[in-house]
Every structure is written in C-alpha cells, then in structure tokens.
Structure 1
Amino acid sequence: MDFSALALSPPLLQVLAELKFQTVTPIQAQSIPVLLQGRDLVGQAKTGSGKTAAFALPLLQKIQLSHRRLQALVLCPTRELCAQVAGEIRRLGRRLPGLQVLVLAGGQPVRPQIEALERGAHLAVGTPGRVLDLLQREVLDTRHLSTVVLDEADRMLDMGFREDMERILGATPKTRQTVLFSATFPDSIEAMSRAFQKEPTRVTVESADAAPDIQQLAYPCAPEEKTALLLRLLRHYQPTSAIVFCNLKATVVDVTRALNEAGVSADGLQGDLEQFERDRVMAKFRNHSTRVLVATDVAGRGIDVEALDAVFNFDLPSQPEPYVHRIGRTGRAGRQGLALSLVTPKDDRKVEEIEHATKSRLEHASVESLPPADAAGTESLGSAWETLCISAGRKDKMRPGDILGALTGEAGGLKATDIGKIEIQDRLSYVAVARSVARVALQSLSQGRIKGRRHHIERVR
C-alpha cells in the first residue's frame, strides 16, 4: 500500500513524498486508518517497524493549528526516546505552519518547560515522571487533550512507571482517544488496556522473529575471558558504529574502561549518568566521534542510530524479548546486520529460550578464527572525528547551515569534507569535525562569530 491510499491531508502527503516515504509498513497500514477514525488502539510491534509514524501522522492530521493549546500527549520511557519521537513528529509536521511540539522530560531544568507550556503548544512528548510533576504543579493543562499515546508501554511498566501512568491518564478527559504501543503484551498491559481504553482495536505485527537480514553469531568463552574476546571481535569486525549491551551498570563501567585503555573509541551509558552527560555521550555516538557505546538495556532504551554496524551481547539478557530489541537496532534500511553474543557455559538455557522465541538459530562461531588477544590493531578502532559543543541551539534560532558556514567560510577556512554530522538541540549544538583539524576548528569558532554572535565552544571529551 502507498501512503496516498490513506486519508491523509495534502501537507502530510507532501512531506512523505519529500522524505521518500512511499510504501506503508504493516503496523502503519493497520494502525493509521483506525487512529484517523478516532478509535482506541493497542499496537504490538518491535522497534524499527515504523510505529512512530503510525501514531504521529494521525496526531498531526487532527491537530487544530489555530488553537495553541495542548491537544495530544505522548508518553515515552526515556528522555532519549522522547527526543527521538519529538524529532520525528517535527519532521513529519514540517509543512504545518506554526506547529509547536514540546519535550517534557526529566534530567533538564523544569523552568524552561513550564515557560514553554505557558506560551502554548499543540503537542507534547514526555516521560511519566516529569509529566506528573508538571501536573502536580498545575502548569500542564490537560482539558483539551484529545489523544494520549503510551509508546513502549511495556518498558514504562518494567521501569516502575505504572502508578505515574495511571495518575496521568486519570487527569485527562474521559473522551480522549487512548493509544498503546508495546513490543510485548504481558498481563500488565492487558490490565492497563481494560482500565483505560474503550473497545480498542488490537493490531499485531509479528515481532518475535528476528529479522532475517541479521547474522547472529555466538562465541563461546569463560566468564573471565569476555573482555579479551570482545576486543578480539572488535579488531576482527572493525565496526564503524556498534553497541555493546551489558546487564549491570558496574559491568558497563568496567567494560568501557577496558576498551578505552586498549585504544578503542568507547563511551558508557548507564543510569547513574547525569542527563547532561548522557546527551553528550549520545551526541558523540550519533556523529561517530565515539565508535562503541557500552550500555544497559534501560539506559539504551530509545537509542535509534542510523547505520549501526553491529550489536554485541557482552551479557545475554535473562529473557528473549530484550535480545530481540537489542539486535533489532542493526540491519536496518536494507543492510545486513550483525549480532554477536559472548556465551558462557551458564548461558546455554538462555540460548535455547532465545532460539525458541525467535525461531532462528544462533550460529556457533569459532574463537580460533579471530586475531589473538594481544595482536595490534586497536589503534584502528579509534575515531577519525572529534565533537565540538556550541552554547546555542534550536531555541536560539541556530541552524546546521549557520555552523557549517562559520566553519567553511572565510573565517573558518575548513573543507566541507572536514565537517561531519551537525546536531541541533534546544540550547546546545554539536558538530563533528575531523580530528586532524579539531584544534583549528575550535580556535576559529571560539574567536569568530556564528550569525554575528560569539558563543562558548568546547571539545566534548
């Protein structure tokens, strides 16, 4: 089915054509007509299935731009996922004049979010904790909400947000449309649906089967050999961008330290990091200044990085569902993915359960085929890029072209090929520059001006 077959407005169809979105994914084909009719829905689909557009397009279709008041609320488990979902909604809604989309998430000062709500917005994407906080402060007006979406509802329940979610839903109009997306469908989701939805349509897109374009390899090892084996795998496969999943925060810290000491460009993402530091870690990973991200499942939730070469399971998860989520981050957009698992003798039962749930075999690979643990080669796992942080962002009217112009114009004098990804956040911007010119780029931006103004520039370590 093409998007043109759906009852979407001309501005939305125009954007979809510009973005070269042509063929509707299964979750979109089944969900969008139901949501456009205003009916409640429970959608079961994995990450990467196109579910964000499945609920975002109907939301945007129904927004009344002339009324700058909150008409739709999307709840997500993490700030990273909030930012990702809000970015996708802004992208799909870019032909809707005056559309205001807010992110209401923890880890950031609450005052700017309160001020933005007072100025008025059409749609908000938030974490349960911050949204509830804003409700209790009586600054979040839910009276005009027509739709509430719970995105990755199973993960929010796993993270202990059940009570927050119930209190938020209880503070919204009874007439609202309630949309619930979940990768799995445990009893807790069934109970929430019964309590807060009205005769919902159930849409299921098979998510248990691992994508056929992901090569899944299991490397046997003893527990004490894991770190050395991980280094050998990184040297052998040479991923430009990879995530290493661990089960414990302490393991993330230890593995990140070991990789850095071995010369690998690696950063850790775990729950003890301040939000500001998490943002910096993710900016560096997205622009390839960091090649390897080490993360727990909770900290890694919502990470969506284009062209991820490989996923490593340093620890196998205790349940098959997180395994499917993890490996689903590689092998997108028609590229073959690679999922490598370090398997100890105690993991045999986990492997059986994963193979049963995914209906696919983990191919057992030989450690002997890898370079020895003490072989040279980690130098090539450094990054050719560095990241600079600029003290201005979207709310300061900063655009990627402004930064590119400052670096490649007369004052900067750099070649366009020396500039990598530019990411604009609310109050900060990040730009990747070739390591060979990082010092020159830092100096030229610090001493020069962007859009006629001086800004604080720093290297992100």
Structure 2
Amino acid sequence: MTTTALQMNNNGVKDDWKSALKAPPRDTRVQTSDVTNTRGNEFDEFCLNRELLMGIFEKGWERPSPIQEAAIPVALLGRDVLARAKNGTGKTGAYIIPLLQKVDVTSQHIQALIVVPTRELALQTSHICLELSKHMNAKVMVTTGGTNLKDDILRIYDNVHVVIATPGRILDLIEKKVAVMDRCGMCVLDEADKLLSQDFKGMLDLLIGHLPNDRQILLFSATFPVTVEQFMRRHLKAAHEINLMEELTLKGVTQYYAFVQERQKVHCLNTLFSKLQINQSIIFCNSTQRVELLAKKIAELGYSCYYIHARMPQPHRNRVFHDFRNGLCRNLVCSDLFTRGIDIQAVNVVINFDFPKMAETYLHRIGRSGRFGHLGVAINLITYDDRHQLHRIESELSTTIAPIPKVIDPSLYVAEAHARGADDD
C-alpha cells in the first residue's frame, strides 16, 4: 500500500480509498520485458488526481509500463513528446493519463484531441479513455467517418472535454465551425506514421493550423519514416524524444512459417486449428474478397468465425469488433484494416493466411498477439512466390521467422502451459 492511498478524510480519520475500489482479478499470466523492464515507479508517484487514479486501478493497471514511465512525467510538464514504442506495451495509457490529468471538467470546451487513423482504433481508444475517466465527470466523445454527422454535431454542442477522431471527420466538424479548437491545449497523434501517409495527405498540417499556438503535441509512432521526422520539425517545439524500439517485434511473439502451395492453404489452416490451443485467433488476408471467401471456408470446416473488412457497413464492423473483443467468437478473418492498435488481450495466435508485402504491415499484424507483454505465436503460410518477401522482412525487422515444427510448444503461447512449465522448473 503506497502512502498516498491513505489520506485524511473530513473527520481527520485515515481514509483507505483504494480498498473501496472494484479492481478486476489480477492478471497472473507471464509478461515479457517489453512491459516489465521498468524503473519501479508507481502511478501514485505522478501526482495524479485521485479520481483518475481510481480509474487506473479499477482498470486493473497496477504499475506503469516502460513507455508510461517515460512519457507521463514529461507530458505532465507540458512538453511536446515524440515517442517510439511497440504496440501492445501500454502506449495508449501513456498519453491518455496525462491528457485526463490536464482536463478541467469545470470548463465547458474542447481541451484535448486524440487523432487516430482508423474507426476501430478510435473506438478502442475511446473505450479506454471512458474507463480511466469514469470517476472524473470528463465528457469524452468519439467521432469518425461513416457515422451520422448530425448526431456528432448535437453531441459537441452539449459540451465535450476530449474528442477522439479520425482526421477527415474532425476537419469536417472544424470547417463547419462546430468543433471549436482555439482552446484545445493538447493534441495526441497516435500511429503517426499512418496519419502522415498518402492516405491522409496534408490533413494533419491543416488540423494543427486550427489549434492555438501554445498547444502541446504528443506524437506516437512505432516506425519513424521521413514524413514523421519532417512533421516533427514543422510543428513540435523542442520535443522530448523517447525511443523504446531497440527491437521492432514484440518479445513474447514466437514467429514461424509453413511452406505451402496456394491450394494447400485451407487444409493447412484446418490442421493448425486442430493442433493449436487457440484462445482467440486473428487470420489476415490481403484482400476483402479473400477475407469473405476464407471466412466461409472456415465456417464450412465447422469452426466459429467472424470476418471484418473496410467495405462492410460501419455498424456491422462495430458489432463484429465488439462481439469478438467480448469473446463471443474464437476466430476472426480480416484485412489490414485491423492491424493498427487493436488491443484484444485474449488473442494468442495470429495467422498470415496471405503473407504481407511490407515489413511495417507484418509488424502490425503479428503485434495483435502478445499484447502487453503476454505470449503469442504468429504463423505465416508462405508460397513459392512469397519466399523473397519472407527473407526481406526478416532482414528489415532484424528478426527470425523459423520453420514451423511438427509440434509447437504450448508454453510459447498458452499462459497456463507456461505457468505449469515454470512450476516444474
């Protein structure tokens, strides 16, 4: 129990406020050094509001991860931050915690903006933000393309403190003079490499132009292409740089490849399903058409399966994402829509049914397992035509993708098996 957990109430009696919290059961699964290699700080040491601390502890977060230790104190000082950290290591908490600490719930205007590249990531981020702020009376709103603009306009007029948005939608609301950003003192750009890609050409520069001159920018990116560096030089002021990317791939994810012919892939997948101890799995294809075809094949094999891709109506995508995250289905087939920042702790197997063309895409795909330092396995189905890409991606990421063994040791990706092995030792 830390000293700040015991404070005097109005009657001068020590008030142990932590004991009244409804924290979830402790997660006893093994964690890798991606999230355990900390300096030993506690959340209490960051001088956070008690209401925010209550949300943090009720979320089940016991101690800050390395990226949270590095980013939160600097962000609380008001400095611009450029942070490189792996997905799945607590990055979202690293910017939401200082952002919520700075929100003044008595002031009725937009005070913070979080910009993300996809609707699914916007929903995921807002979910975490709402959980952390549930004792604070902070008003959090998510707005993305593909949803009813009129509803968003009405919600903003009802006064909002924190907006989580995709670039096109927030620019639309700003240009309609609905979202007033002249007192928005904090802007977070998550997955900045994607936000600064051709998909969103010039949007961030326009967006920054609507913020006040004394705004604070927190920029998070797993990779650091030239576009991110150029943007940093244009808009960040004496940014504090954090780089926790001594290696790109997550430590807890074991990577394998299986050399197959195209026509053998479904049979190979069926074999994997029968042999692996899957908690939940995500299976990636390179096109929306192949996503639907594969999902149909998996269902015909008798396995529960959802699918999701960018051409589906947004309400349908939201429902699939929500139900999968809540564990209603074991397997999800998807396109690269789903590679950015989606945090589903139960996923312990990722299968690249189609091998990606880019190292960056591969990195984000396999990062869907092994979240927050837990264990996972990534299996790549490799055809003759993929062989050069396999070696190139291994080289670019300085990683090893090994041939798949006849039996994959469950302790590499099943928490209970790892725990049993540790006990045996």
TM-score calculated relative to the size of structure 1: 0.76
**Correspondent of 1:171 among 210, 213, 216:** 210
Q: Give CA-to-partner distance per residue, 1:319-360, whole Å, 9 cap, x none.
A: 222222222221235542111110112222222233334433
Matched, 1:81 2:125: no
Q: Which residue of 1 aligns with 2:284?
A: 245
Shift of 1:299: 4.1
8 Å Cα contact 1:78/1:302 also seen in 2? no
1:40 matches 2:64 = no
Distance verdict in 2 for CA 1:93–1:159, change over 3 Å:
farther
Report what 2:316 is aligned to: 277
The match for 2:140 is: 101
Retained in 1: the 8 A contact 2:112–2:162? yes
Contact 2:79 2:240 in 1 (8 A): yes
8 A Cα contact 2:88 2:372, kept in partner: no
Q: Percent identity?
A: 34
Assess if the C-alpha contact under 8 Å between 1:271 and 1:299 holds in 2: no
The unaligned stretches of length 5 or more in structure 1 are: 371-461
Aligned to 2:399: 360
- The answer for the alignment partner of 1:286 in structure 2 is 325
1:158-185 CA distances to partner (integer Å, 9 max, x unpaired)? 3611322221111111211111111110
Structure 2 partner of 1:431: none
Q: Measure, in 2, the Cα distance between the counterparts of 1:145 and 1:165.
A: 15
1:313 aligns with 2:319: no
Alpha-carbon offset, residue 193 of structure 1: 1.1
Unaligned stretches of 5+ residues in structure 2: 1-40, 409-425
- Distance in 2, matches of 1:287 and 1:13, equals 25
Deviations 1:64-123 (A, max 9, x none): 111121000000111111111111112112221x21000011121111110010010111
Amino acid at match of 2:299: N
CA shift, 1:205, in A, is 1.1
2:253 equivalent to 1:201:
no
Counterpart amino acid of residue 61 in structure 1: Q
Contact 1:45 1:207 in 2 (8 A): no
Which of the residues 202, 207, 217 maps onto 2:256? Answer: 217
The one of 95, 100, 106 equivalent to 1:66 is: 106
Q: Distance in 1 between matches of 2:291 and 2:105?
A: 45
The answer on whether the counterparts of 2:88 and 2:341 sit within 8 Å (CA) in structure 1 is no
Q: Which moved more, 1:227-236 or 1:18-27?
A: 18-27
Aligned residues: 368
Q: How far, CA to CA, are the matches of 1:158 and 1:259 in structure 2? A: 34
**Equivalence map 1:296-311=2 (5 Å):** 296-311=335-350
**Which whole-Å CA distance do the structure 2 matches of 1:264 and 1:17 have between them?**
37
Deviation at 1:20, TM superposition (A): 4.0
| Higher mean C-alpha deviation, range 144-153 or range 351-360 | 351-360
Higher relative contact order (CA 8 A, sep 6+): 2
Q: Does 1:346 align with 2:385?
A: yes
Q: d(CA) in 1 for partners of 2:88 and 2:246?
A: 10
Distance 1:335 1:27 in 2: 16
Deviations 1:390-434 (A, max 9, x none): xxxxxxxxxxxxxxxxxxxxxxxxxxxxxxxxxxxxxxxxxxxxx
Partner SS for 2:130: helix
Identify the residue that residue 44 of structure 2 maps to in structure 1. 4
In the alignment, the residues of structure 1 paired with residue 175 and residue 283 of structure 2 have an alpha-carbon distance, to the nearest angstrom, of 38
Alpha-carbon distance between aligned partners in 1 of 2:335 and 2:203, rounded to the nearest angstrom: 23
- Alpha-carbon distance change, 9 to 287 in structure 1, aligned in 2, over 3 angstroms: closer
Alpha carbons 2:67, 2:91 under 8 Å: kept: yes
Instruction: Rate the CA distance shift 1:198–1:71 in 2: closer, same or farther, 3 A.
Output: same
Looking at structure 2, the residues matched to 281 and 10 of structure 1 have their Cα atoms a distance apart, in angstroms, of 35
3-state SS of 1:342 partner: strand
Matching residue's letter, 2:214 = T
Other-structure match for 1:235: 274
AA in 2 matched with 1:289: L
Q: 2:162 aligns with which of 98, 123, 135?
A: 123
Q: CA RMSD in A?
A: 1.9
1:239–1:310: 8 Å Cα contact kept in structure 2? Answer: yes
C-alpha separation in 1, matches of 2:274 and 2:198: 35
User: Helix, strand or coil for the counterpart of 1:309?
Assistant: strand
